[in-house]
Amino acid sequence: MTEGRDVQWVEVGEGQSGQRVDNFLITRLKGVPRTLVYRIVRKGEVRVNKKRVKADYRLQPGDVVRIPPLKLAPREAVKQVSEGLRNLLAGSVLVEGPGWLVLNKPAGLPVHGGSGVKIGLIEALRQVREDLDFLELVHRLDRDTSGCLLLAKSRPALLALNEALKGHKMDKRYLALVAGRWPARREFVSARLDRYDAGNGERRVRVDAAGKVARTRFAVRETFPKATLIEAEPVTGRTHQIRVHAAHAGFPLLGDDKYGSREGEALARQLGLSRLFLHAESLTFPEPSSGRPVQIRAPLPEELEAVLSRARESH
């Protein structure tokens, strides 16, 4: 695969002002792995205003970036988007604003490539949306989680949305199906969380007094004979927080291959559930340019609706 045969000279516009040169290149060179981007910057093949720069250089309007022609070995190349994935992502956009878009993320698709995954959602979407010269994730969802995922289409929008996230001005609600009867009075779980290496390079999370502060608000949506549909609102944003907090409370999520239980596995099989039952149902955030609240909902996937129907009938 060859990414351009000639040197490119790109003038930086207002939309890229303040963006790091490595992120600028990663966005522009769709399908090129990060390792190669850092290599050409380090070797001085990338120039800004004819000068060498480091990867963390912040671009200014009017800067001229030299991008060298790139040749990728087959093992280096980021996988090209299949027609099926292209159509899936194009049809997954829930709402699009001037500086942002919200996608109904499909379950099973990681948001980033890496760790043996040649292409993730962000890399694929950059190939699909060739009309955009900037596209970054505002937050993340686990690979097996579906639902509302917010992305920024400009650096100013990204900065504004990141500030809203840090300032707790963003409201995220998830639906999860757990084994057993969640007690109506159990509204909050507060337990510090620590990330650790589970072997084979896999990262997991556990409750640990020395970990980071984490708090999740839970509410019962519907009770079934053997399970409970709950709404989860992560007050903090730790990795796997909802999954670990629910398991810590004694009610592991159904379909969770990392933090689930044997009883949960048996119930998931009984209900015909073949994925993690965790769905980012709604997202509310201040519109970056106006500050007005935007609320978006992602419908529950048909496969999860079918599981709920079977849960209502189970005895």
Catalytic residues: 142
Residue with the two structure tokens 């990414």: 3
Asked whether the CA dihedral 300, 219, 138, 161 is positive or negative, the reply is positive
What span, in angstroms and rounded, lies between the C-alpha atoms of 205 and 37?
Answer: 31
* Helix-helix angle 21-28:34-42, to 10 degrees: 130
* Under 8 Å between Cβ of 219 and 183: no
CB 288 within 8 A of CB 100: yes
Long-range Cβ contact pairs of 50-53 (< 8 A, separation 24 or more): 53/21
Cβ neighbours, 10 Å, residue 218 = 24
Contacts of 252 by beta carbon, 8 Å cutoff, 6+ apart? 178, 179, 243, 246, 259, 260, 261, 264
In the 8-state DSSP scheme, what is residue 51? Answer: E
Nearest to 68 by CA among 91, 48, 40, 104: 40
Say if residues 89 and 124 touch (Cβ distance below 8 Å): yes
Cβ 176 vs Cβ 232: under 8 Å: yes
* Backbone phi and psi for residue 55, each to the nearest 5 degrees, phi listed first: -60, -30
Q: Is 301 helix (H, G, I), strand (E, B) or coil?
A: coil
**Strand ranges (E), 89-208:** 93-96, 100-105, 136-137, 146-152, 171-179, 188-190, 193-197, 203-207
